[in-house]
Amino acid sequence: RWSACKGLIMEYSKNTTIHGLRYLVELHRPFYEKLYWFVVLIISVYFAISLIWATYLKWQDTPVILGFDETLVPVHKIPFPTITICPEIKMERNVFDFPNISSRILEEIQKYGRFKNHENLNDEELARFMSTLHICESEVVQRFAPFLPKDIRPDIAQTLVDISISKNETGPFCKWNGRFYFCDKIFNFVPTDEGICYQFNGLQAKDIYRDLSFINYYDEDVVDFNNFFEQLPRFNNLTGNWSLDDGYVGQGYNSYPQRTAFSSARNGFFAFLQGYEHNFEYACRSFKQGYKVFLTSPESVPVTTSNYILVPHGDEVMVSVLPHYVISTDNLHDFSPEKRQCYFNDERYLRYFRSYSQSNCQVECLTNYTINKCGCAKFWMPKPPEVPVCGVEDINCYDAAQSDLRILIQNQTMQATMDPNMKIICDCMPACTSLDYNVEISSARYELAKTLQAYREVYEHTDFMGSRLSVYFKEHQFTAIKRTVLFSIATLIANWGGILGLFMGISSLSIIELVYFFSVRLFDNLRKRRQTKKRLMKLEAGHEN
């Protein structure tokens, strides 16, 4: 058998398509030639195996790549950003005078060392004061919270809505897609960590949350796109089926959420924002005055601890938007979320939200952590119906929970760079299909008084300050980011084949040839040798007879 195998190896080496192998077995070749080809073959095999191993490691570690999509995406394929406007003026002084109430309470605390309501504040004033503390600076909370009664449990979100500046007063008129609107007809109240904010082009609460019982407040006012001069459809009544994964399906131009087909400021969003100096207060909030503006994708809740655009009183701010749209190919499902560093919507279930996004995941993570640490949730957080809303006595707890969670995630993220097996709490990776909005901001002073004088208008209010906000797409089309497979199995095999072909001249037929020689050919040779041996044995037996 060994002689058969040896003969087969000699035959294979002489006839194979693998380069250089036949020079090792030819009998007439001198020793130095055989040594030369042996060294060359060893070097070729070494480099081939090294490159194949490096390719395999790259396929294991980074199978996914981010690159530019092949075609430009028109802006009408995506929704206009959801614009959340959070005024620094949190209350109407004629409805609730926080500086006056806070000074009266503070005087009593300083005089008696406790609060027994000697100032005869009614329950409504106390409820409004305690609700307002949830959006005040931490120093203000520390000054009052330990002394306030714990038996008063106001509806915080509704109370903040009741004392807030009305939509119509904050934004007397807006402009969208070239048409003027009353802002209060297209704005919704939305509770956030900043308090009560005004939102344009957001999804309705029923389309964001799995159950409306998860949230404490949602604006029931009907968004009504009735133009000053003509009747338009009530867009909010459209039962749109937009999603990040599928886009707009079966919707015309008047879609939900809103979109635009052009990139000019004329076809974007404009709001005239106004504030009165008599409503400015510094007893609750910081010295900043103006509006914080957040741009988000419609399916996500605004995270007000992230970056924002500041619109000061008396300024005009122009926001040019460039979408950051990431799409992913379906074959990425073959890889684990850790490999591709993202979640598909059907992979990561969120208890409170209908769709997965990184910001929704972060909000749910903070909510769950706060509930576990404090036994309650902040007024703006989604929560199970049986979980109470945090009161004044819990403010320090949920503030500490937010800080603790941030530090915990930061430490775990740093440890994960050294230990790949380290699990990060919540693990809120980006969605595989995501939409964000990059912005370019320009601003200038807006002289309202001089503008009105130029138009021969009467300027009645001496403490009135106006601001202008414009948001629009920068270009008609944009380049999307495409997350694709860098190395599929087919690509990996093709790379290996190219390496083997480059260094050794091996192809798929060479492998088939190798299998053929050491299976079919070997079996056939052994069979023939057995038959020959049997014939010889018969001949020898015949001679003996």
Q: Can you tell me the distance from the alpha carbon of 343 to that of 362, in angstroms, rounded to the nearest whole number? A: 14
Token pair for 27:
């009998």
What confidence score (pLDDT) does residue 14 get? 66
What is the residue whose two structure tokens read 């655009």? Answer: 309
Distant-in-sequence, close-in-space partners of 13: CB < 8 Å, separation ≥ 6 = 21, 22, 24, 25
- Contact criterion met (CB below 8 Å) for 110 and 358: no
Specify the CATH number of the domain 358-430: 1.10.287.820
Q: Which two tokens stand for residue 166?
A: 């009305």
Q: What is the pLDDT of residue 236?
A: 45
DSSP letters for 299-333: TS---TTS--EEE-TTEEEEEEEEEEEEEE-GGGG
Amino acid at 235: F
Q: What architecture (CATH level 2) is domain 79-336+439-481?
A: Sandwich (2.60)
**Three-state secondary structure call for residue 387:** coil
CA nearest 304: which of 412, 381, 376, 235?
381
Q: What angle do CA 503, 507, 508 make, to 5 degrees?
A: 145
Classified as helix, coil or strand, 243 is: strand
**pLDDT at position 45:** 86
Tell me how far apart the alpha carbons of residues 312 and 468 are, in angstroms, rounded to a whole number. 9
The pLDDT of residue 234 is: 47
Own/partner contacts of 235-243, CB < 8 Å, gap of 24 or more, are 236/204, 242/79, 242/298, 243/299, 243/345, 243/355
pTM listed for this prediction: 0.82
Per-residue pLDDT 10s for the chain (545 aa) are: 556 566 666 666 666 667 666 666 666 778 887 788 788 888 888 888 899 898 888 877 778 888 999 899 999 999 999 999 999 999 998 999 999 999 989 888 888 888 887 667 888 999 999 999 999 998 999 999 889 888 888 999 999 999 999 888 888 889 998 888 888 888 999 999 999 999 999 999 999 999 999 998 887 776 766 555 444 444 444 456 788 888 888 777 678 889 998 898 889 999 999 988 888 888 888 777 899 999 999 999 988 877 899 999 999 999 999 999 999 998 888 888 988 889 998 899 999 999 999 999 999 999 999 999 999 999 999 999 999 999 999 999 999 999 999 999 999 888 888 887 788 888 899 999 999 999 999 999 988 777 776 766 666 666 788 899 999 999 999 999 999 988 777 777 888 888 887 777 777 777 777 777 777 776 777 777 777 777 777 777 766 65
> Which part of the chain has CATH 1.10.287.820?
358-430
**What are the C-alpha distances in Å from 521 to residues 1, 10, 437, 484, 528?**
13, 13, 66, 44, 10
Strands 315-328 and 477-485: parallel
The residue among 205, 245, 197, 240 whose CA lies nearest residue 222 is 205
pLDDT of residue 5: 64
Spatial contact of 228 and 180, defined as CB atoms under 8 Å apart: yes
- Rg of the chain over all Cα atoms, to the nearest angstrom: 36
Q: What is the pLDDT of residue 230?
A: 45
pLDDT of residue 439: 95
pLDDT given at position 531 = 74
Q: Residue 522, exposed/middle/buried by CB under 10 A (0-12, 13-18, 19+)?
A: middle
Terminal CA-to-CA distance of the chain, rounded, Å? 30
Q: What confidence score (pLDDT) does residue 98 get?
A: 92
* Cβ pair 288, 101 in contact under 8 A: no
Identity of the amino acid at 57: L
Neighbour tally for 99: CB within 10 Å: 13
Residues 53 and 64: beta-carbon distance below 8 Å: no
Rounded to whole angstroms, the Cα distance separating 140 from 255 reads 44
- Say if residues 412 and 424 touch (Cβ distance below 8 Å): yes
Cα separations in angstroms, 311 against 332, 335, 376, 463, 474: 41, 44, 34, 18, 19
Q: Which two tokens stand for residue 24?
A: 């090792």
Return the structure tokens found at 281: 């207060």
Amino acid at 27: L
3-state secondary structure of 444: strand
Look at residue 513 in the predicted model and tell me its pLDDT. 73
Cβ burial of 337 (10 Å; 0-12, 13-18, 19+) is middle
